[in-house]
Chain A
């Protein structure tokens, strides 16, 4: 009975993990190319979530369609923030970009709160379930998982096959060398930043499949921490590492939740969240460049 439950939870963990991983790819991309840590990461996920809510509840639009919409909105936001703020801070001390991305996150939270209010909301997108014996998987979650994998593959192809993608890769390797070769480094930065934000906002759509009633302006904070744990697991500069890190994290999160539930006198949900923080510190202590990274 225990193993069935564990197995079921682990499976759910992998499904969720894929989405977590995809949600972190933007963070790793931005750090890998611009060396900027987007501390406001969670707020962009939240924006994606509210976008989905708005499109579904007010306009009756299917969340799957919300994905590309969210991606566009994200890229737009990314461009705006890059050209107004980030670009000017690339040469500044690290403190500047950390505080700037943090403040952008706060700004987004407050704006959404202004527009939508701070109550918890949700929406109900019922498309049926998949009974796998050890667990029941709602199809919406399955779609989210498939969507994440698809997006990860698309990103991989974009890097490998397109000119823009190759340009970005060369900037990561050696920005001076790339500049000398005639690559528009500033443009590569702008593209990478907006792409990263686009991915993040899009992931917000996918994550709503997992939080039936939890959408609120301050939901981002929890995701920022998770994203950092995942990013550090997978290597802070590598989007693919982030994806696999997400899978691992999903497994750990659900696995530990199941195990904690068996310990009397503790609250498993809270303790799981504490555990993710401990994992973060442990990895930073041992190998800040990432457990799964190539180095």
Chain B
């Protein structure tokens, strides 16, 4: 029984996701909103595995989403000629997305993760731009023209399935990724990995002296976070809108949004990205009706206030309030 209790914190997370799913399914016209909220939750969960748990910030994070998008795009466009593969092309696409984001994170990590805090941030600030300009500069994968693969996707799956994928199943996969990322986060938190990450986040030098190989654990968190980002890009970007265009998929503003979601919700907590994703997503949705494009202008000062006054975020504050009560074990 004790073992199962360890996983209780997932209950509010999965409940939130399921509620979003049911609302989207059953209420007229809000599937769009739910799919956006699920995307932000997934983005937050994935980003939290690294930034929240290690305390390091990767400013080039969107590069992993972009690379994942390319992974799916490449699978579809290059394998479409092998008709026997059928829908497996999508599965291969996910696999390729994971492989490519793992490779990129290993390449970046090999340099960046040896560096401390500020230098790490500096090293990562150019990753998304750098990779984008590599693709455009060396004209890899169609360079700056990008790829459009609606036709290929139709060929692989047939028109109707492809349409269903773009409007429905891609979003379900985002939900799955969000749930998976939350699950992995909790597994890490409850294992030696989580303890090591907390230690190195709080005091890296003391952690080393206690026997923790900080670089190894940073790499684990970094690659995990990158993989989820790759999978997310593969579905939320490549499958929902079957084209990939370098300036769009390497746009720094997704990293900004990820930072907002994680800090708002509570960095390093399990429930934080869900709360952050919901608050940010809903705000952005309603703002777009009255004041489109204003969400960053409004959230930038909010994040400043949070950093200075409430660095533990919404869930961090909730944890403090519920300490010693029965609810404690659900708010992690």
Contact = CB atoms under 8 A, between A and B. Distances in A.
A and B in contact, CB less than 8 Å = yes
Interface of A: 31, 35, 37, 39, 85, 88-89, 92-96, 98-100, 102-104, 106-107, 109-111, 113-114, 221-222, 224-225, 228-229, 232, 260, 265-274, 276-278, 280-281, 284-285, 288
Nearest to B293: A113
A85 B136 contact: no
B137 A273 contact: yes
Given A273-B133, A281-B123, A267 B144 contact: yes
B252 A284 contact: no
Contacts of A280: 122-123, 126
Contacts of B136: 267, 270
11 contacts: A37-B118, A93-B55, A95-B57, A99-B307, A103-B301, A107-B301, A228-B126, A265-B139, A267-B139, A267-B143, A288-B119
B297 A111 contact: yes
Interface of B: 51, 55-57, 59, 111-112, 114-119, 121-123, 125-127, 129-130, 133-134, 136-139, 143-144, 252, 256, 259, 263, 293-294, 296-297, 300-301, 303-304, 307-308, 311
A92 B125 contact: no
Nearest to B300: A107
Contact of B122 (A35, A88, A228, A260): A228
A103 B303 contact: yes
Contacts of B111: 281, 284-285
Contact of A89 (B125, B138, B308): B308
Question: What's the dominant secondary structure at chain A's contact region?
Answer: helix
Contact of A273 (B56, B117, B129, B296): B129
Given A267-B137, A270-B133, A277-B129, A284 B57 contact: no
Given A225-B129, A277-B129, A266 B259 contact: no
B297 A225 contact: no
Contacts of B126: 225, 228-229, 276-277, 280
Contacts of B296: 106, 109-110
Contact of B300 (A37, A106, A270, A274): A106
A98 B297 contact: no
Nearest to B255: A102
Contacts of B116: 94
B133 A98 contact: no
B54 to A, nearest CB: 9
A99 B137 contact: no
A270 B144 contact: yes
Contacts of B252: 221
B133 A277 contact: yes
A185 B311 CA distance: 26
Nearest to B51: A95
A97 to B, nearest CB: 8
A102 B293 CA distance: 19
A267 B138 CA distance: 7
